[in-house]
Amino acid sequence: MAAEVALATGSFPGRALPVVCSDLHVSFGAVRAVDGISFHIEPGEVYALLGPNGAGKTTTIRVLTTLIAADQGEVNVFGHGVRREAMLVRHLIGYLPQQLSADFQLSGYENVWLFARLFDLPRRERETRVREVLEAMGLDEVRDRLVSTYSGGMVRRLELAQALVNRPALLVLDEPTIGLDPLARGDVWERVRELREETGMAVLLTTHYMEEADTLCDRIALMHHGRIRAQGTPAELKSVLGAGATLDDVFRHYVGAAIEDEEVSGGGRDVRRTRRTAQRLG
């Protein structure tokens, strides 16, 4: 697929891929949040869903992580249906949501240990797993401090540790570096890169930072009004607009004209939520 950008077709390989999403529809009342999208993720791939607030990215992730049910269509994680085999799927994924998931009144160690219990890890393995992920995230020396004393970057790395304590085969990251300064963002992504290289896990992410998507992702899907407008590698997407084009240019080409409309007609709640998260991260 040289300079040509693939549109979603719903035709995928039959083997057990990390994610296969086919003709997914989700509505909230009269609002079609996801309107018939299809995509798949290859083993070890970093795949991004990009789009303005209200495009349907987080709704798609919530279906994939078994938090809500789709109205129509199917999502399989390593061959397991998210509706029929929800508990099994939950054990295969690690999920870092937009909203903060860390309890600021607990220590870093207590936060990760709680997630180890929620994942029902065997009691004899919990201590080892918790220390393992805290060390991997560079938090071993501060594990006994209250999270309220952590910096924004440390909080996000702690939440990554929570998402990784069950050793997931698929890591789902919904705006993982929101509100972080460039140094903290780089630190978070360095940890993700290292883990991906060591474990070969697949990664699905959303981000509003185009340079992150351009640098980190193998493939990208651009969403708008609940549909995938285009998908391909960063190079393929940029080649459509010609030499010198950036991923920001691609984003504006496919969805830019509607960003203001999205914020006025329903994206405001997402914007407020995003700002609150950014403020708490400092």
pLDDT digits (tens, 9 = 90+) for 121-159: 899 999 999 999 999 899 999 999 999 999 988 999 999
**Structural domains in the chain (count):** 1
Could you tell me where the DSSP H helices lie in 146-181?
152-164
d(CA 118, CA 2): 45
Range of the domain at 236: 19-101+168-281
Question: Tell me, what's the pLDDT at 4?
Answer: 35
| Dist CA 95 CA 221 (whole Å) | 19
Q: Is residue 137 part of a domain?
A: no
Q: What CATH number does residue 189 fall under?
A: 3.40.50.300
Q: In the chain, which stretches have pLDDT less than 70?
A: 1-15, 257-282
pLDDT of amino acid 23: 97
Instruction: Identify the helix (H) or strand (E) that includes residue 272.
Output: helix 268-281
Are the beta carbons of 216 and 227 closer than 8 angstroms? no
Q: Is residue 118 part of a domain?
A: no
159 within some domain = no
Q: Is residue 72 part of a domain?
A: yes
Q: Evaluate whether residue 156 is within a structural domain.
A: no
Q: Is residue 273 part of a domain?
A: yes
pLDDT at 276: 53
Residue 154 lies in a domain: no
Model confidence, pTM: 0.84
User: How many residues can be counted in the chain?
Assistant: 282
Percent of the chain with pLDDT over 70: 85
Distance CA 169, CA 59 (A): 21
SS3 257: helix
In a domain, 90, yes or no: yes
